[in-house]
Chains A and B, each alone.
Chain A
Amino acid sequence: MEKFIKLTDTVVPLDAENVDTDQIIPARFLKATDKEGFGENLFRDWRYAKNGEPNEDFILNQDKYSGSILLAGNNFGCGSSREHAAWAIKAYGFKAVVSSYFADIFKGNALNNGLLPVQVSPGFLSKLFVAIEKDSEEKISIDLEEQKISIQSSGESESFDIDPYKKTCLINGYDDIDFLTSKLGAIKNFEQKRSGKETVPQETI
């Protein structure tokens, strides 16, 4: 997994709440059997008109906005568990998503792909949107070690929470599979300890 330590960049502001994973990557693009190419279809139905022409109103099609930080409204990533949503955002080139709330499964999927979900207060989120609206060149810094997000021009900042285990994984580029496969001994012990009495009847399948 790609490491994430610190990022300073311009921002793409997506001012919408409850952005669901069907908008991030519509179900018809989930037929792939690898992780490639999802970036092209990120926000497909908002980004392109039916005839395939870019929809100029949509933020990704506006030249004045660019950068590897996606700023979005409350409850980002709700809906389906499709990890394709995190892959699409990452493949497009985003490295962090900032919102005042993330849906659980999306948040986990993002963290498992080195895409940092930064949860800020609703007040700070508004400040970020205002700052970007005022100046599309405004830069934001996200420091994972310090767990701090700041607006470069004004210096205003806020700290954010992250699970300490996940933080270590991101900073070092480890993933959960490395960790879990190192625990197979303990897992086998657990299985033995509870066999005979517990919730998995041995002959179920």
Chain B
Amino acid sequence: MKKTLFDKIWDSHVVESIPNGPDILYIDKHLIHEVTSPQAFNELKERSIPVFRPEQIVATADHNTPTQDQHLPVKDLLSRKQLKELSQNCEENHITLYGLGHPYNGIVHVMAPELGITQPGMTIVCGDSHTSTHGAFGTIAFGIGTSQVTQVFASQCLLVEKPKKLRVNVNGNLKNGVLPKDVILYIISKLGTNSGTGYFCEYAGNVFEEMSMEGRMTVCNMSIEMGARGGLIAPDQTTIDYVEGREFAPKAAEFEKMKAHWATLKTDEDAEFDQEYSFEAEDIEPMITYGTNPGMGIKLTGAIPIEGNKSDAKALAYMNFKPGETLLEKPINYIFIGSCTNSRIEDFRVAASYIKGKQKAENVNALIVPGSRQVAEQIKAEGLDKIFEEAGFILRQPGCSACLAMNDDKIPEGEYCVSTSNRNFEGRQGPGSRTILASPLTTAATAISGKISDYTQNLN
């Protein structure tokens, strides 16, 4: 039978199928962080169950960590307690932790790929819905709840029903200034926030084939925002070149062996999908969101749809926008470049290339948060830090930061924030905050003009 990429990886990881029930799916890598793991460790302790395969677990601290003075004790007592429990739990259970201050520390979905922990053909889970990011390497990667974290601790497996299969094709030539973030925001705006529920999504077409690994990660990252459990892209030479030589990637003969295996990881011609959508690259423009879910997106120069139901009206009331209006010329006082969606070196390069030689508008608070220590080092090595500082941007230490505002990096009530993060839910960036999702380029341009503007004419 013809198989999809998803089938091939899934089927090779099924330990057993329960008749009329879920599969027992073997998990190659389990990533954990401070927020969704403590209750799982407690549950194990209460039930006297040991961690089954600690060597297949990697931990980082990212969600509630401060982005300033990371060498000092964490001021927030609850966060400090949570981080301390993570350290203790990892130590007691022999789990590798790249905690605050470690050179490998960073947002879980940034540090694992850059260290070569993420490799094609794997199954990867984490108690975080943006685990879909790792699908960029041709992996089955998805977010899980804390009960499932406990299950993986106990058995290195999960009981899961095999999702249905969805393919999204984008072919053609992207316009100048259209970034991977725009591509995924466009797809979600067309399909809606629950079109992917129950599915795993494969992205196919020359647009994804020509994307860098970092771009593919941005796309796969937001699969969950259309409801899909995960998204994946077939591994190719770009993937192999990215993985090769990374800290935990296989080396020498082992790498050659794995390369041969990775080459088999593609969807067979004529394999069937339960659902398929196709889009033209030429139709995609820089995107922004105007509402309180990521599906509420329009092109930068577009107008908010006039038609809408009660929930849409509620979202517009929260955002203080009106149906039919455009967002151009709206003053913006906050911008954020960061999060597991857009905090890799290419994101900062593209932002810096626009910012270079310019100044942020006076009204704007511009926050830049790298995804990992390694990205932060790279920013310095390339001199991007100088560009940001000279333009009046604040460059902080790595973490999830203002994406979900668990630390002090919050957007004040009522303020708009043009943000490279992944969710524009009510209060996501702080109680009462209003988030407008966009690419790093649109976000950088907004910081310079102090308002939403059509910068595309000024691009080289």
Do residues A187 and B38 form an inter-chain contact, with CB atoms below 8 A? no
**Interface code A81-117, partner B: CB below 8 Å = 1, 0 otherwise?**
1111010000000000000011111001100110000
Complex Cα gap A127–B446 (Å): 46
**Interface code A49-91, partner B: CB below 8 Å = 1, 0 otherwise?**
0100000000000000000000001110011111110100000
The minimal Cβ–Cβ distance linking A13 to chain B, given in whole angstroms, is 13
Given known A-B contacts A165-B22, A183-B15, A187-B157, A73 and B127 have beta carbons under 8 A apart: no
Asked if B350 is at the interface (CB within 8 A of a chain A CB), the reply is no
The minimal Cβ–Cβ distance linking B308 to chain A, given in whole angstroms, is 11
Cβ-neighbour of B39 out of A34, A79, A164, A165 (below 8 A): A34
Asked if B267 is at the interface (CB within 8 A of a chain A CB), the reply is no
Asked if B2 is at the interface (CB within 8 A of a chain A CB), the reply is no
Complex Cα gap A177–B311 (Å): 38
Given known A-B contacts A31-B79, A187-B26, A26 and B431 have beta carbons under 8 A apart: yes
List of B residues within 8 angstroms of A79 by Cβ: 129, 224, 423, 425
Do residues A199 and B121 form an inter-chain contact, with CB atoms below 8 A? yes
Asked if B460 is at the interface (CB within 8 A of a chain A CB), the reply is no
Query: How many Cβ-Cβ contacts under 8 Å join chain A to chain B?
Result: 212
Cβ-neighbour of B18 out of A45, A84, A165 (below 8 A): A165
Asked if B146 is at the interface (CB within 8 A of a chain A CB), the reply is yes
Do residues B117 and A33 form an inter-chain contact, with CB atoms below 8 A? no
Do residues A82 and B159 form an inter-chain contact, with CB atoms below 8 A? no
The minimal Cβ–Cβ distance linking B118 to chain A, given in whole angstroms, is 10
Binds B, one of A4-12, A15-23, A139-147, A152-160: A15-23
**Interface code B146-168, partner A: CB below 8 Å = 1, 0 otherwise?**
11101100111111010100000
Binds A, one of B51-59, B268-276, B279-287, B329-337: B51-59
Asked if B314 is at the interface (CB within 8 A of a chain A CB), the reply is yes
Cβ-neighbour of A186 out of B12, B15, B56 (below 8 A): B15
Do residues A33 and B36 form an inter-chain contact, with CB atoms below 8 A? no
Question: Restricting to B185-209, which residues have a CB under 8 Å from any CB of A?
Answer: 193-194, 197-198
Do residues A22 and B425 form an inter-chain contact, with CB atoms below 8 A? yes
Do residues B49 and A181 form an inter-chain contact, with CB atoms below 8 A? yes
Complex Cα gap A137–B428 (Å): 35
List of A residues within 8 angstroms of B310 by Cβ: 15-17
Do residues A187 and B96 form an inter-chain contact, with CB atoms below 8 A? no
Complex Cα gap A183–B155 (Å): 8
Do residues A104 and B423 form an inter-chain contact, with CB atoms below 8 A? no
The minimal Cβ–Cβ distance linking B144 to chain A, given in whole angstroms, is 6
Cβ-neighbour of A50 out of B146, B405, B431 (below 8 A): B431
The minimal Cβ–Cβ distance linking A92 to chain B, given in whole angstroms, is 18
Do residues B144 and A81 form an inter-chain contact, with CB atoms below 8 A? yes
The minimal Cβ–Cβ distance linking A129 to chain B, given in whole angstroms, is 12
The minimal Cβ–Cβ distance linking B76 to chain A, given in whole angstroms, is 8
Asked if B64 is at the interface (CB within 8 A of a chain A CB), the reply is yes
Given known A-B contacts A31-B78, A79-B423, A198 and B22 have beta carbons under 8 A apart: no
The B contact surface, by secondary structure, is loop
Asked if A175 is at the interface (CB within 8 A of a chain B CB), the reply is yes
List of A residues within 8 angstroms of B119 by Cβ: 199, 201, 204
Complex Cα gap A186–B432 (Å): 50
The minimal Cβ–Cβ distance linking B143 to chain A, given in whole angstroms, is 4
Given known A-B contacts A20-B293, A81-B129, A176-B159, A198 and B24 have beta carbons under 8 A apart: no
Question: Restricting to B431-449, which residues have a CB under 8 Å from any CB of A?
Answer: 431-432
Which of B63, B64, B127, B129 has the most C-beta atoms of chain A within 10 angstroms of its own C-beta? B129
Asked if B371 is at the interface (CB within 8 A of a chain A CB), the reply is no
Question: Restricting to B370-426, which residues have a CB under 8 Å from any CB of A?
Answer: 404-406, 413, 423, 425-426
Question: Restricting to B332-382, which residues have a CB under 8 Å from any CB of A?
Answer: none
Cβ-neighbour of A176 out of B151, B163, B405 (below 8 A): B151
Taking CB as reference atom, which chain B residue is nearest A30? B35
**Interface code B44-69, partner A: CB below 8 Å = 1, 0 otherwise?**
00010100100110100001100000
Do residues A83 and B145 form an inter-chain contact, with CB atoms below 8 A? yes
List of B residues within 8 angstroms of A86 by Cβ: 145
Taking CB as reference atom, which chain A residue is nearest B41? A33
The minimal Cβ–Cβ distance linking B422 to chain A, given in whole angstroms, is 10
Do residues B197 and A101 form an inter-chain contact, with CB atoms below 8 A? yes
Do residues A180 and B151 form an inter-chain contact, with CB atoms below 8 A? yes
Which of B128, B161, B194 has the most C-beta atoms of chain A within 10 angstroms of its own C-beta? B194
Q: List 10 A-B contacts (CB under 8 A).
A: A31-B76, A109-B146, A164-B21, A183-B16, A183-B24, A186-B16, A190-B15, A198-B261, A204-B248, A205-B96
The 9 A-B pairs at the shortest CB distance, nearest first, are namely A165-B21, A112-B147, A109-B145, A83-B145, A31-B78, A33-B38, A180-B155, A81-B143, A17-B311
Please name 16 further chain A to chain B contacts, defined as beta carbons within 8 Å, in addition to the given A31-B78, A79-B224, A83-B127, sorted by A numbering.
A17-B310, A26-B431, A27-B405, A78-B194, A78-B293, A81-B129, A81-B143, A108-B144, A163-B161, A184-B155, A191-B26, A199-B119, A199-B122, A200-B122, A201-B119, A203-B250
B contact set with A: CB distance below 8 Å:
9, 12-13, 15-16, 18, 20-22, 24, 26, 28, 35-36, 38-39, 42-43, 47, 49, 52, 55-56, 58, 63-64, 76, 78-79, 81-82, 85, 96, 117, 119, 121-122, 127-129, 131, 143-148, 150-151, 154-159, 161, 163, 193-194, 197-198, 224, 227, 229, 248, 250, 254, 258, 261, 293, 309-311, 314, 404-406, 413, 423, 425-428, 431-432
